[in-house]
């Protein structure tokens, strides 16, 4: 039996869930204008998705520049999120 939820496949499933979360939150906000604005939430979700992508690339034996670039971009997204929230 193939264990689908191990290693790379588990990360793929989580990335799909994060993408669905982004789409659902954006649609809900555009329809109701209630909840968290996608503009405010997007940097946080992008940072998390990039961290997951870095993990996926690492588990798939990609060379280190690829997942290092994802980690660096996640850091940039995190700084953007912090700058947006800092008051």
pLDDT in tens, 28-45: 999 999 988 899 999 999
In the prediction, which pLDDT does 19 show? Answer: 94
Q: Is residue 2 part of a domain?
A: no
Q: What is the DSSP string of 40-79?
A: HHHHHHHHHHHHHHHHHHHHTT--HHHHHHHHHHHHHHHH
28 is a domain residue: yes
Q: Is residue 24 part of a domain?
A: yes
With cut-offs at 50, 70 and 90, classify the pLDDT of residue 7. Answer: confident
Q: What is the pTM of this model?
A: 0.86
Residues near 50 by beta carbon (within 8 Å), at least 6 away in sequence? 70, 71, 73, 74, 77
Q: Please report the pLDDT score of residue 56 as a whole number.
A: 93
- Provide the pLDDT for residue 1: 43
Parent domain of 64: 8-85
The confidence band for 9, taking pLDDT boundaries of 50, 70 and 90, is confident
Segment 61-83 shows an average pLDDT of 96
Position 4 pLDDT exceeds 70: no
pLDDT given at position 5: 65
Within a domain: 3: no
Q: Does 15 reside within a domain?
A: yes
């Amino acid at each position: 039996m193939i264990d689908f939820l191990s290693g790379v496949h588990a990360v793929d499933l989580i990335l799909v869930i994060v993408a669905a979360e982004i789409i659902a939150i954006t649609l809900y906000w555009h329809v109701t204008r209630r909840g968290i604005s996608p503009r405010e939430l997007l940097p946080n979700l992008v940072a998390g998705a990039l961290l997951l992508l870095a993990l996926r690339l690492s588990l798939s034996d990609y060379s280190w520049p690829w997942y290092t670039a994802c980690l660096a971009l996640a850091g940039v997204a995190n700084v953007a999120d912090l700058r947006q929230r800092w008051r």
